[in-house]
Amino acid sequence: MSEAEAKQIERMKSLLATQRDAFRHERHRPLDLRKRDLARIAALCRNNSDAICDAISRDFGNRAKQESVIGEIAFVIQDADHTAKHLSRWAKSRTVSTPMTLMPGKSTIRREPKGVVGIVSPWNYPFQLAMAPLVAALGAGCRAMIKPSELTPATADLMKRLIGEAFEEDHVCVISGGPAVGEAFSKLKFDHLFYTGSTQVGRLVAMAAAENLVPVTLELGGKSPAIVTPGYPQLSAAKSIGWGKFFNAGQTCVAPDYVMVPNGEERALGEAIIKIAEHQFPESSSDDAYTAIVSDRHYERLTGMIEEARAGGAEILQAKHDAQAAQAARKIPPTVVLNPPADSKLMTEEIFGPLLPVIGYSEIDAATNYVADREHPLALYVYSTDKEMASRILDQSQSGGVGINTNLLHLSVPDLPFGGIGASGQGSYHGEAGFLTFTHERAVFATGKWHPSRLLAPPYGKFYETVSKKQMS
């Protein structure tokens, strides 16, 4: 660990203590101030959209501005506005019924902020995946420390400046640094830790948080399948799946990771997807609308996947491109891989790039069994004109979320909880689900000065017998 990293770790420990002290003095931030906090986030996005897009593009080598606007900035604005609009209702205490045996008394659930929370954000959507959890935390009345990915330093530096201009450090702050700082961050004694990233690192984060019994939300990934059922219009499937897969060059946690189609239709669907991609990105190697791969290491990993599949006998379909220019720009053209080997990395690891395996199935049960035999994915996409068949596939599968005849868009619905299950994550956020993630539902039972329960104390008599019989009946 370098001296600079050691100083940064000491600084973030000091900031945590400062935020804890500030929270003690304001345990219940008034709703009007929370709404003001959310308005600051929305204004920060609106007033700095060009700078945010430019920073993200520098980090990627090229990120399509349109994708940054839609997938990052507008998303956060919508989330902040939606939270502010519904906050009063979400935060309201509510009375619940009290059993007759405990009357007279009143039972209430108070929704209170958990305290100081940590947010660890990834590189693939470096702005949105830091700010959307922050929106939920601020709506809940918490204070927050954010640790962005070191792979997107320009975005991290910009967020640090913008957050610093909008909030005092005892309320929200951004911590920069590499893996050593990130590891120390995940070991801090937060009141809640929110992590978005890979399943492998998620396990380490959960273990680190467990040392202090810090509750965690893990937004992970997994191989999200798309199942195209018999008779579904091929062109419609190709347009939808291709858009979801090649948005952000496939560097999206809920991008379709592989497609299952009826046996014999693999090539036709693959060719249709490539044809559409060539229309959308006439020259992917130089088109600013087509995003680059974030790092040399990730680029080499993806190209290695292609070559492994090719060596295993799979057929590779790629959009037209200038190979030399693509390599120089760190761009991989839209790629479809027909029936890659089952043990290849394309089929055993989350791809996180513009590579789309297409595999055949004999019948729907074979497709659902294939999905069920593997770790639960973050998303499942079903393309079917038969509602009963779509419902059957959902009944026979498990996933964090579902898209029917579409993909990606379920995470943009503010009132749908977004999160994984099993290896794809635990916990959820967006809308009220996000508010509740950073909220403690405190149980309160109140009685008058005297309560009949005191008659239940030893020596036990007839009142005890009456009450116990009533509760056991």
3-state secondary structure of 196: strand
Helix residue spans in 329-363 (DSSP H): 345-348
- Asked whether the beta carbons of 138 and 110 are under 8 A apart, the reply is no
- Asked whether the beta carbons of 227 and 397 are under 8 A apart, the reply is no
How is 84-97 classified by DSSP, letter by letter? HHHHHHHH--EEE-
Q: Say what the pLDDT of residue 181 is.
A: 93
**The 94-96 sheet, strands edge to edge:** 94-96, 106-113, 439-446
What is the residue-averaged pLDDT of the chain? 95
- Asked whether the beta carbons of 73 and 49 are under 8 A apart, the reply is yes
- Asked whether the beta carbons of 381 and 256 are under 8 A apart, the reply is yes
> CB-based burial of residue 95 (10 Å sphere; 0-12 exposed, 13-18 middle, 19+ buried)?
exposed
Q: Say what the pLDDT of residue 468 is.
A: 82
Dihedral of CA 228/234/239/243: which sign? Answer: positive
Q: Say what the pLDDT of residue 449 is.
A: 85
Q: Which residues pair with 118 in a beta bridge?
A: 145, 193
Q: Say what the pLDDT of residue 241 is.
A: 98
What's at 222, amino acid-wise? G
Phi and psi for 429 in degrees, rounded to 5?
-150, -170
219 a catalytic residue = yes
**Which candidate in 45, 142, 173, 253 is catalytic?**
253
45 a catalytic residue = no
Tens digit of each residue's pLDDT (9 = 90 or more) over 181-215: 999 999 999 999 999 999 999 999 999 999 999 99
- Asked whether the beta carbons of 314 and 337 are under 8 A apart, the reply is yes
**Chain-centroid distance, C-alpha 263:** 33
**Which candidate in 219, 265, 266, 350 is catalytic?**
219
Q: Say what the pLDDT of residue 217 is.
A: 98
193 closest CA partner among 176, 209, 173? 209
Q: What is the mean pLDDT of each run of 10 residues along the chain (473 residues)?
A: 84 96 96 98 98 98 96 97 98 94 93 98 97 98 97 97 97 94 96 96 94 96 95 96 97 97 97 96 90 96 97 95 92 97 96 97 96 96 96 96 97 96 96 98 92 82 82 80
Q: Which residue in this structure is represented by tokens 């789309």?
A: 356
Which positions ≥6 away from 427 have C-beta within 8 Å? 216, 217, 218, 219, 419, 437
What are the Cα distances from residue 104, in Å, to 90, 99, 108, 426?
Answer: 28, 9, 14, 39
pTM of the predicted structure, to 2 decimals: 0.95
Q: How far apart are CA 386 and CA 391, in angstroms?
A: 9
